[in-house]
Each structure stands twice: as C-alpha cells, then as structure tokens.
C-alpha cells in the first residue's frame, strides 16, 4: 500500500528541509501536499485523506493542534484517521506529553536520527493498525498539549447587547455560549444576547466545574445538559434543559460524557 503524507509548516525552508529528509529516509512515502498554514492543512487533509500528517504546532490561521482537533471533528467515513506527527521547537512540557502517546513529534531543525525514529514508529503503527491509530489516545495527548489558562477572576454577570439595551445576565443563567464570528451568542432559557469577546478570552473567566467547552465554538453549562446522545456514526450531540438546540460535541471533548 502506498503511504501518503501531508506537511503543514509556515516556514518554507523548514518545510523543504523536512520534505527532503523524508524523501531521503523514507523514499517510498508519497508527499501529496505542503501547506503553509493550518487552514490549508485542514482543507487538504479532508480532501486528500493522507495516512500521515506532519503538523507544525505553531502556524498562522490555525495551529497544528487546532487543525488536528477540527480534523478529528470533521473526519467521517470508513477511512482510518491519519497518524499525526507534530513538528515543534524544543519544549520540555510539550515533549513530555508525547511519551507513550498516539502521535509523535519531530524537532526543529529536523534531525535525521530523530526523524528516523519517528519513521520507524509510523511504519510499525501503519503495519500493525490497518484500521487506524488510537484516536482516543491521540485526543488525550492533544488535551495535554493545550496551554493551561492563567487564573483570572471569575465572571459573575455578563453585560450583553440586546437591541439598544445592555442586558445584565447572571452567568449561572447561561445555558450555553456559541461563537459567532467576532461575537459570542449568550443563550439563556428565555433569550439570546451578543457579547464582543472571543471564546478563548471568555473561557478562563468561567467556572470550569460548571462550564465545559464541548466544541471549538461552544461552551455549555453542565447543569443544563439533560443527556448526550451518540448517533450511528459515533458523533455526540447534547440535549439541553430549556432550549431546543442540540450542540455537537467534538471528539476532543467526548471524554466529558463518559459513563461514571
């Protein structure tokens, strides 16, 4: 079977160096695309369905972690989820997260000895796991790589625009938050309102024991979740108390709804 790979790296010289090293150390590997950012990497990965992805962790548009998360969320069909190799500058915290994990890593600048070890692992995994890598283990690793939020004062009341008014919404009354371009839609049992802030900025201000991120664009109040329902494709959606919407749960956050 021909093994195909995609490289996502925003520095052209490093991308070319990695491609040359792969051609030298793994000549039978077919490189199907080289992408300069995470947005293009996601689109090409979904279109081409390669068996291996080399993703730079830090890229413009979307990081390698964000691209991998969205890919896991969008992946469907019978084809196995690809093997992931993260490309990173040296970082003790990040590298610790790769120990015994489903993904692998290579350091910048590319080192033949380390890349050879990664290639050996990939070959073994592709040979012994024809049905794909351990996606749940990969997602556990990605969660470990997500940066920890700095402690901030917890938000108690949200001041949100509703027409020409500013509505004061107790945070405990929020059923879920939904990202909408440059705004967040604040959804309560009896209405909706907009705030101009990103989900990334909002999340550290919320009580993590009550408000759970379940998708890259959705945070739910766990106390308002009636149930999590899995469809025939294995995808999770939520049933909420007091609202008709059924938010989707990304595979990255599916662990929040495992049976106790």
Least confident of 31-45, 104-118, 140-154, 240-254: 140-154
pLDDT of residue 100: 44
The count of other CB atoms within 10 Å of the CB of residue 201 is: 11
User: How far is CA 55 from its chain centroid?
Assistant: 12
Mean pLDDT of 179-200: 92
Same domain, yes or no: 8 and 82: yes
Question: Which residues partner with 188 through β-bridges?
Answer: 174, 191
User: Which distant-in-sequence residues (6+ apart) come within 8 Å of 77 by Cβ?
Assistant: none
Same domain, yes or no: 103 and 205: no
Read off the CATH number of the domain in which 201 is found.
2.40.50.1020
Same domain, yes or no: 139 and 162: no
The answer, yes or no, to whether residue 93 has pLDDT greater than 50, is no
Counting beta carbons within 10 angstroms of the beta carbon of residue 181, is it exposed (0 to 12), middle (13 to 18) or buried (19 or more)? Answer: exposed
pLDDT in tens, 133-180: 556 666 666 666 655 555 678 899 999 988 888 899 999 999 999 999
pTM: 0.69
User: Which distant-in-sequence residues (6+ apart) come within 8 Å of 193 by Cβ?
Assistant: 158, 160, 161, 162, 167, 169, 185, 186
The answer to whether residue 151 is domain-embedded is no
Residue 237 tokens read as 């959606």
Question: What Å distances lie between residue 106 and 19, 53, 65, 68, CA to CA?
Answer: 13, 12, 15, 16
Domain that holds residue 117: 4-145
Quote the CA–CA distance of 173 and 193 in Å, as a whole number.
12
Same domain, yes or no: 191 and 124: no
> How many folded domains does the chain comprise?
2
Same domain, yes or no: 200 and 92: no
Q: Which residues of 119-156 are buried (b: 16+ CB within 10 A; e: fewer)?
A: beebeebbeeeeebbebeebbebbeebeeeeeeeeeee
Q: Which of 145, 165, 197 is the last residue of a domain?
A: 145
CB-based contact 208:249 (threshold 8 Å): no
Same domain, yes or no: 190 and 217: yes
Same domain, yes or no: 95 and 15: yes
pLDDT of residue 260: 65
Counting beta carbons within 10 angstroms of the beta carbon of residue 22, is it exposed (0 to 12), middle (13 to 18) or buried (19 or more)? Answer: buried
Q: Which of 145, 173, 208 is the last residue of a domain?
A: 145
Same domain, yes or no: 229 and 136: no
Same domain, yes or no: 192 and 229: yes
User: Regarding beta strands 183-188 and 4-8, do their DSSP bridges make them parallel or antiparallel, or are they unpaired?
Assistant: unpaired
The greatest distance separating any two alpha carbons of the chain, rounded to the nearest whole angstrom, comes to 64
């Amino acid at each position: 079977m021909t093994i195909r790979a995609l490289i996502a790296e925003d520095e052209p010289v490093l991308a070319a160096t990695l491609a040359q090293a792969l051609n030298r150390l793994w000549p039978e590997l077919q490189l199907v695309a080289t992408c300069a950012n995470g947005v293009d990497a996601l689109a090409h990965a979904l279109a081409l369905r390669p068996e291996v992805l080399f993703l730079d962790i830090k890229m413009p548009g979307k990081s390698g972690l964000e691209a991998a998360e969205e890919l896991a969320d969008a992946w469907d069909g019978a084809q196995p989820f690809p093997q992931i190799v993260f490309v990173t500058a040296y970082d003790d915290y990040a590298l610790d997260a790769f120990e015994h994990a489903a993904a692998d890593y290579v350091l910048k600048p590319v080192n033949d000895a380390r890349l050879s070890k990664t290639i050996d692992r990939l070959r073994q995994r592709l040979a012994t796991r024809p049905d794909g890598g351990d996606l749940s283990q990969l997602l556990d690793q990605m969660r470990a790589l997500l940066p920890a939020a700095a402690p901030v004062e917890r938000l108690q009341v949200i001041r949100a625009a509703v027409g020409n008014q500013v509505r004061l919404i107790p945070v405990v009354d929020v059923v879920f938050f939904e990202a909408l371009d440059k705004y967040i839609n604040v959804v309560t049992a009896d209405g909706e309102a907009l705030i101009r802030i990103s989900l990334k900025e909002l999340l550290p201000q919320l009580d993590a024991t009550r408000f759970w991120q379940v998708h890259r664009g959705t945070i739910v109040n766990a106390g308002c979740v009636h149930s999590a329902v899995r469809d025939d494709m294995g995808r999770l959606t939520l049933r909420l108390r007091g609202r008709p919407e059924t938010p989707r749960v990304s595979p990255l956050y599916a662990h929040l709804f495992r049976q106790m």
